[in-house]
Structure 1
């Protein structure tokens, strides 16, 4: 049986072009990050075609980090601060790693129950008569 690869399309309304970039927002830092297409679609990210990736701008008051889309040299940055570059480096280090090793699994010992409840006894709730 042959399976066809599903091509993700641009997230912009009425655009059916194939996606080449992924944009996500870092709300805590008011930063939009545009980089290569993510391996899997995720909620809260936007896949963009080449045209929309080039023309997209961040919301007012936000910074935009543009990572290289094809592995070439990064796009020129306009007077970026050291904090912004540190954030971009952190995003690159986390987002482009493919050699992550899963942490070792730890086993948890759950002690067995000493005695099983007596089914004839019923539950732990009782009816209490009202004093009249």
Structure 2
């Protein structure tokens, strides 16, 4: 969706392939329900293409990628970015204006 203020026009078309200033992507439901401001013209551009359907294989590929990333994170030893809360000796110690409180 794009507003052309100089022409008092709202243009609804296919999703953009890249980010454009002043352009907004809408889902099909909101694009269908959109009404222009009073005295504005609405132009709907149909791309002639149906949106690609997601297959079961696509969802499985995403799930596999998430599992692999989680497995790598589990095998990575804690480094300097680990939280002081992970260190039992740090319980009760102050860090600036914050304090780590251990489980009792």
**Alignment TM-score > 0.5, same fold:** no
- Higher Cα Rg: structure 1 or 2? 1
* Structure with the larger helix share: 2
For Structure 1 versus Structure 2, the TM-score category normalised by the shorter chain is 0.3 to 0.5
TM-score by length of 1: 0.35
TM-score by length of 2: 0.44
